[in-house]
Amino acid sequence: MKKALPYLGVFSATVLFFSLFQPWGSFRDPDAFYHAKMASLLLERGILNQFPWLDLTTLGANFANQHFLFHVLDAPFVFFFGMLQGHQVASVIFGASFITAFFFVLRSLKIEKPYHWTALLLILPPVIARLNLGKASPIALTFFFLGLLFVAKRAWKPLFFIMTLYVLAHGGWPLLILMAGVYLFGELIYEKYVLDKTWRKVTSFFDRTTLLTIGSLFSGALAGVLIHPNRGALLEFLKTQIISIGVTTPFDRVLLGIEWRPYELPAFIFDFSFLWIMALVLIFGFLFARRRQVKPETMKWGVALGLCAAVFFALTLKSRRFGEYMGPMFVLWFAVLAQTIDWNAVRQEFLRTETSIKALIIVLLIAAFGRGMWATYDFFHMNTRGFDRLVPALEVADQYLEPGDRLYHSNWALFPELFANRDAYTYIAGLDPVFLLEANPELSDAYTSLMVNGEGADAYEIIHNKFDSSIALFETRTDTDLIQSLKTDSRFELLFEDEAATLFLVR
């Protein structure tokens, strides 16, 4: 029990910390509604092998629940606390679980002052944001960093199980295979260029345990695919998810979420400001307070993890969503590098600094922390989606729609909310617009055209003729021009309007 106390303390403190940021009673990210509904359907109907709600997209004919295990873990919270409330509680618990797992990784690598490095991770705004959005990110990050730890420690038996669970829980599992390869390549660089070994001696790097580690990684992935309830469609789904959405990313054809877009430099600098500050401190330590003796393992981990951090740095510049991996990876790398520095000497050097400079540094750090935390809190509580904000509009739509009818919605991000509140109807697009683009390019272009051009597009032709919808729902706050245009069109009858949604009958 005594050994568990540090982990219990980190977990409890993080639950409290994350609870302060949660916009209780609403979600910041629409995907949270989808995950809550999927966990609820798992309890009600069991495993889903089809997804009729998005029959126009590739998900309709080729459905694979890439978050299956995540929804299984989410289900007990949904059962005890209700669908949306339970999922929100679960998101806090899962976020705290990842932070605790990261703390475990630090201690397993015998990192000094693991509490300090865990605290640094906790004050990175992108990390707080991604862990609290109600997505599967905390589960994916937990399996990823535990898997990378087991690769570093050559713990091939637990690696097999972690890899299997990762495949079942999140579609991002190929990242662990990629980064394991990058990490092992980093170790090879260390053996060859730091230790200056001959190539003959370097080849001894591939000993039995290393080969078993590589084997367990791939066999765990294979086991996960074979066990997955949607294994027949999983690889085809991942092809769309990874290649079509993640790599080739058709920005010219669809309106994608901000997480897939590149970071703007000012935001990138601000969001990870504490990483850059820590980097400056480490550079100072290397120059003026480096330890004379450093463990060989520390140097090896520093080179290998540095290579992993560089890859995630590049990926994050391409797509903001990789920031959830980059932040923890840099903290882990910095924590390893910090083992090469005499921190007592750094502290003494800081104490010898003039009082005014010390005060300025402290004030700037406090200001940076305060601004980062407030900006993160503000992010979670602005433009939130209340659990029942679309319910009044849907209650009116119920009077005109039969089960199986298609409800037109003005953008694909509305789908999770609609799906969570009404699973009797079919919809246009959701989860990602590329799923509609790949299945029906013509319909996708028409849908995007109406979203982009608004009143300039032929709304009736698109909504009534192409999508065969008699009811159309728009977001009042974002579709203002199109709504005003439709109000003057005799083919559209206004049925309902409030601050959240506007509903039309299409004649």
In DSSP notation, 343-364 reads HHHHHHHHHTS-HHHHHHHHHH
Dihedral (CA of 338, 341, 342, 348) sign: negative
pLDDT number for residue 207? 82
For residue 33, is pLDDT > 90?
A: yes
Percent of the chain with pLDDT over 90: 64
H helices present in 132-173, as ranges: 137-153, 156-169
- If one counts every other C-beta atom within 10 angstroms of the C-beta of residue 106, the result is 23
**DSSP codes of every residue in 409-439:** ESSGGGHHHHHHH--SSB-S--S-THHHHHH
Torsion region of 203: left, alpha or beta (phi above 0 gives left; psi -120 to 50 gives alpha): alpha
- If one counts every other C-beta atom within 10 angstroms of the C-beta of residue 313, the result is 16
For residue 456, is pLDDT > 60?
A: no
Question: pTM for the whole thing?
Answer: 0.93
The residue-averaged pLDDT of 250-260 equals 76
> For the chain, what is the mean pLDDT?
91
Contact 422, 394 (CB under 8 A): yes
95-131 pLDDT, tens digit per residue, is 999 999 999 999 999 999 999 999 999 989 888 889 9
**DSSP codes of every residue in 431-464:** S-THHHHHH-HHHHHHHHHHHHHGGGS-HHIIII
For residue 89, is pLDDT > 80?
A: yes
Instruction: Give the full edge-to-edge strand order of the sheet including 492-497.
Output: 407-409, 471-475, 501-506, 492-497
Q: Which amino acid is at 269?
A: I
**Banded pLDDT at 240 (limits 50, 70, 90):** confident
Query: Between the CA of residue 243 and those of 136, 163, 180, 238, 248, what are the distances in Å?
Result: 20, 21, 20, 8, 6
